[in-house]
């Protein structure tokens, strides 16, 4: 089983959502409901904007977002929230970087978002139906923390290994 790390770690814009899989049926792709995506500038950004006399740099702007997603296959709703930032990118035309009169790349800005959580947690990989319930429970717990706390998520993966060994009746012994 391979996991597409780029897919899971990439940020998204509010007009192009990743094909997040449904945690209930695994078959459906989650899509935002109409006007389901909302975001606003963080309190820090608003204060900085005032303190800077209204000349805050784009790179210093941060956001918080929420979105309600829906599965067209089984009807499940999934909530997600996270943070956003401004990304500066080089403009391209027909795969060529656009240059200004001085020969420098033309740049533009876009707002990008990174999830901190999904509820219910979305599956990072497919759990086979024959997976023992005790193991499945630990895997889903690791999915819950995947975006917000990767080390804690990895700790649940260790528990998954423990659960698998317990299922297979392997006795755990300390190395010391
Ligand atoms: Zn579904």
Ligand 1 centre to CA of 127 (Å) is 15
Ligand 1 centre to CA of 134 (Å) is 23
Residue 99 has pLDDT above 70, yes or no: yes
Quick one: average pLDDT of 2-10?
76
The predicted model scores a pTM of: 0.80
| Helix, strand and coil percent figures for the chain, each rounded to 5 | 25, 35, 40
Three-class DSSP labels, 55-100: CCCHHHCEEEEEEEEEECCCCCEEEEEEEEEEEEEECEECCEECEC
Residue 101 has pLDDT above 70, yes or no: yes
> How many whole angstroms separate alpha carbon 159 and alpha carbon 17?
32
- Token reading at 171: 């006795």
The CB density around residue 37, as the number of other CB atoms within 10 Å, is: 17
User: What percent of the chain is modeled with pLDDT above 70?
Assistant: 94
Ligand 1 centre to CA of 26 (Å) is 6
Query: Who wins on pLDDT, 152 or 36?
Result: 36
Predicted pLDDT at 78: 98
Query: Who wins on pLDDT, 7 or 85?
Result: 85
Please report, for the chain, the start and end positions of each structural domain, with discontinuous segments joined by +.
5-126, 127-170
Residue-averaged pLDDT of the chain: 88
- Token reading at 80: 């997600």
User: What percent of the chain is modeled with pLDDT above 90?
Assistant: 40
Ligand 1 centre to CA of 70 (Å) is 8
As residues whose CB is below 5 A from the ion ligand 1, the structure lists 22, 24-25, 28, 71, 73-74, 76
**Least confident span in 3-7, 36-40, 126-130, 153-157:** 3-7
Query: Who wins on pLDDT, 113 or 89?
Result: 113
């Amino acid at each position: 089983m391979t996991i597409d790390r780029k897919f899971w770690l990439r940020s998204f814009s509010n007009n192009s959502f990743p094909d997040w899989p449904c945690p209930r049926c695994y078959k459906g792709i989650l899509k935002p409901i109409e006007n389901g995506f909302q975001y606003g500038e963080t309190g820090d950004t608003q204060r900085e904007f005032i303190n800077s006399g209204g000349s805050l740099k784009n790179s210093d702007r941060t956001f918080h977002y929420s979105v309600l997603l829906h599965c067209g296959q089984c009807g499940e709703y999934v909530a997600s929230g996270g943070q956003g930032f401004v990304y500066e990118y080089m403009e391209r035309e027909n795969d060529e970087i656009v240059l200004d009169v001085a020969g420098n790349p033309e740049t533009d800005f876009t707002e990008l978002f990174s999830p901190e959580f999904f509820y219910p947690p979305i599956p990072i990989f497919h759990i086979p139906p024959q997976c023992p319930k005790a193991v499945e429970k630990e895997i889903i717990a690791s999915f819950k923390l995947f975006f917000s706390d990767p080390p804690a998520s990895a700790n649940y993966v260790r528990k998954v290994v423990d659960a698998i060994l317990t299922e297979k009746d392997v006795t755990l012994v300390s190395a010391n």
